Structure 1
Amino acid sequence: MYGDIANKLIQDAKLTQMLETLPLYQEELVRSIVREVRDLHRDTEAVLARYGGELPTQDRKVACWIFVQHLCMRRNKRCLLAYQRLRSTRLDAMAWNDVDTMDQEVLNNLNPNEQDYLRDYSELLVDYKGEWVDVDLTGSLEPPRDLFIDVRVLKDAGEIQTEYG
């Protein structure tokens, strides 16, 4: 049934969120989903060709079938994008947390495109962090909840005027 393979991929993605390490890339599932989307598209194009490329508004059964095919294709694509986004987010976190990008155990679970992405993203981060040597960019992004906080000044910038005086 359409969407079953994409459902398996999403279940795998949910399990991936709970694991410490990134598991193997589900290449066979991804290829099966892409193949299913192509088959759905080819079938839809064949039906539309019989009606001159126009949506048959008079034949409601065919119009409904085309609509369902379209929804199946969109759902599969959304599932693929969600899976890819989850993995890229995990790769970004690995790069920010200074995980060794040349570690063979890490690289074995990634496909070649992910390996290239992780390597290039890590290089970009090294260049970016190099510009801000005095500032820890990997610190928490959550603002403090205390009313009074200590501020450590790295450079004297002179007198600064804020909106509150």
Structure 2
Amino acid sequence: MYGDLAVKLVQDSKRTLSLDVLPSYQTDLVNAIIREIRDLQRDVKILIDQRGPNYRASQDRRVSCAIFVLQICMRRNKRCLLAYHRLRARRLETLVWSGFEASSIGSEEDSEGATALTERPSVASGWHPDEEEYLRGYGDVLAELKGEWTDIDLTGSMEPPRDLFIDVRVLKDAGEIQTEYGLITLTKNSQFYVRQGDVEQLIQQGYIQKLR
């Protein structure tokens, strides 16, 4: 029945909201919905062509109703496709703002020799090539914007901190960082009492966990 495939796509979008990573792109389902839209367009054209160029909706209410239903189905399918892709685009944008490096997609190793996809399980697994291109482009725009505002951390949390200093635990080795009070070596399972602004980005990237 028309619209059933679009319902499945919306359900997949709803499931995406509860996941920590972006799931694989539903290529087969999206293509099937596009084919359905084309079939609907073909059916509308056939109905109109059979009645000639001078056809008016008031001439045959049954045909007019059929055309109206087909057009409504097309519009609904298109809205579902737009909603699906907009949701995925926003998830990609969130990744960039959280510090994910778009250049690491497809690379075997990051700067520390660790597998890039191992650091972030399932990231970029099954993404559409256009999504990877969008992620890189969005990352370039953000990098350009950050370059103009070097004195402000645009990727920092929008929620004002309750405390200037916080207790943190290191979840994975992150090397050395320079803070206002000296050099700190972040080794896995170590704990520190540091200024939140010095480690905010590392918290977003998953290297450090803020302790309650």
1:13-92 equivalences under 5 Å are: 13-53=13-53, 54-92=55-93
AA matched with 2:140: E
C-alpha distance in structure 2 between counterparts of 1:95 and 1:122, whole Å: 6
Q: Which residue of 2 aligns with 1:115?
A: 132
C-alpha distance in structure 1 between counterparts of 2:14 and 2:90, whole Å: 14
1:94 aligns with 2:111: no
3-state secondary structure, aligned to 2:151: coil
Say if 1:119 and 1:2 are closer, same or farther in 2 by CA, change over 3 A: same
3-state secondary structure, aligned to 1:65: helix
3-state secondary structure, aligned to 1:25: coil
Give the TM-score of the pair, scaled to structure 1.
Answer: 0.82
Unaligned runs of 5+ in 2: 107-116, 118-122, 162-212
3-state secondary structure, aligned to 1:138: coil
Say if 1:89 and 1:32 are closer, same or farther in 2 by CA, change over 3 A: same
CA contact (8 A) 2:40 2:70 kept: yes
Greater alpha carbon shift after TM alignment, 123-132 vs 33-42: 123-132
Greater alpha carbon shift after TM alignment, 79-88 vs 122-131: 122-131
CA contact (8 A) 1:22 1:109 kept: no
Identity %: 51
**TM superposition shift of 1:136:** 1.6
Say if 1:69 and 1:116 are closer, same or farther in 2 by CA, change over 3 A: same
C-alpha distance in structure 1 between counterparts of 2:45 and 2:158, whole Å: 49
Higher strand share: 2
Runs of 4+ in 1 over 6 A off after TM superposition: none
C-alpha distance in structure 1 between counterparts of 2:137 and 2:128, whole Å: 14
**TM superposition shift of 1:141:** 3.9
Q: Which residue of 2 aligns with 1:137?
A: 154
1:128 aligns with 2:145: yes
CA contact (8 A) 2:97 2:155 kept: yes
CA contact (8 A) 1:48 1:55 kept: no
3-state secondary structure, aligned to 2:66: helix
Give the TM-score of the pair, scaled to structure 2.
Answer: 0.64
Q: Deviations over 1:44-69 (max 9, x none)?
A: 00100112243432211110010000
C-alpha distance in structure 2 between counterparts of 1:117 and 1:34, whole Å: 21
- Structural RMSD (CA): 1.7
Higher helix share: 1
C-alpha distance in structure 1 between counterparts of 2:126 and 2:21, whole Å: 9
C-alpha distance in structure 1 between counterparts of 2:27 and 2:12, whole Å: 12
